[in-house]
Structure 1
Amino acid sequence: MVKPLGVQLYTVRDHMKADRDDVLRRIAEIGYGAVESFAPTDDPKGFRQVTDDLGLTVSSTHAHALLTENPNLVLDAVAVIGTDLVIVPAGIPEQEFTTRDGVARTAELLNGLAERAAGYGMRLGYHNHWWEIEPKIDGRHAIEVLAGELDPAVFLEIDTYWAAVGGADVPELLGRLGDRVLALHVKDGPVVKGEPHTAVGDGVMPVPDILAAAPDAWRIVELDSCATDIIDALAQSHAYLTTGLGRA
Structure 2
Amino acid sequence: MSKTAAPGTSVQLYSVRDAIAADLAGAVARVAEIGYTQVEPYAFHQRTDEYAKAFADSGVTAPSGHAPVIDAEDPDVVFDAAARLGMGIVIDPFVPTDRWQTADDAKRLADRVNELTVRAAAHDVRFGYHNHQWEFTNKVDGRPVFELFAAQLAPEAVLEVDTFWATVGGADAPAVLRSLGDRVVAIHVKDGKVSGDIATVLPSSESALEVPDALRAAFENQMPAGQGDVDVAAILAAAPQALRVVEFDSYAGDVFEGIASSLAWLNENDK
What band does the TM-score fall into relative to the shorter chain?
A: over 0.9
Query: In structure 2, which of residues 50, 61, 82 is the aligned counterpart of residue 57 of structure 1?
Result: 61
Matched, 1:213 2:216: no
Unaligned runs of 5+ in 2: 1-5, 199-214
* Structure 1 residue aligned with 2:3: none
Query: In structure 2, which of residues 7, 17, 20 is the aligned counterpart of residue 16 of structure 1?
Result: 20
How far apart are residue 13 of structure 1 and its match? 0.5
Matched, 1:226 2:229: no
The runs of at least 4 aligned residues of structure 1 exceeding 6 Å deviation read none
Unaligned runs of 5+ in 1: none
Specify the code of the residue in structure 2 equivalent to 1:246: D
* Structure 2 residue aligned with 1:77: 81
Distance 1:170 1:14 in 2: 30
**Maintained 8 Å contact 1:126/1:157:** yes
**Per-residue CA distance 1:114-148 (angstroms, 9 max, x = gap):** 11111111111100001111122344322221111
How far apart are residue 211 of structure 1 and its match? 0.2
TM-score when scaled to structure 1? 0.93
Distance 2:76 2:82 in 1: 10
TM-score when scaled to structure 2? 0.86
* Structure 1 residue aligned with 2:210: none
* Structure 2 residue aligned with 1:161: 164
Alignment of 1:160-199 (within 5 A): 160-192=163-195, 193=198, 194=215, 195=218, 196=220, 197-199=222-224
Matched, 1:30 2:34: yes
* Structure 1 residue aligned with 2:111: 108
Distance 1:145 1:65 in 2: 21
Specify the code of the residue in structure 2 equivalent to 1:38: Y
Report SS of the residue matched to 1:226.
Answer: coil
**Maintained 8 Å contact 1:48/1:82:** no
**Maintained 8 Å contact 2:131/2:166:** yes
Matched, 1:246 2:250: no
Distance 2:164 2:174 in 1: 11
Distance 1:158 1:105 in 2: 20
Query: In structure 1, which of residues 6, 9, 14 is the aligned counterpart of residue 10 of structure 2?
Result: 6
Report SS of the residue matched to 1:34.
Answer: coil
**Per-residue CA distance 1:32-54 (angstroms, 9 max, x = gap):** 11100111123312311221232
Query: In structure 1, which of residues 237, 243, 248 is the aligned counterpart of residue 262 of structure 2?
Result: 237
Report SS of the residue matched to 1:57.
Answer: coil
**Maintained 8 Å contact 1:95/1:102:** no
**Maintained 8 Å contact 1:130/1:162:** yes
Distance 1:234 1:166 in 2: 23
Report SS of the residue matched to 2:45.
Answer: coil
CA RMSD in angstroms comes to 1.5
How far apart are residue 67 of structure 1 and its match? 1.8
* Structure 1 residue aligned with 2:134: 131
**Per-residue CA distance 1:15-68 (angstroms, 9 max, x = gap):** 101111111111111111110011112331231122123221202011115523
**Per-residue CA distance 1:54-83 (angstroms, 9 max, x = gap):** 221202011115523411222211111210
* Structure 1 residue aligned with 2:212: none
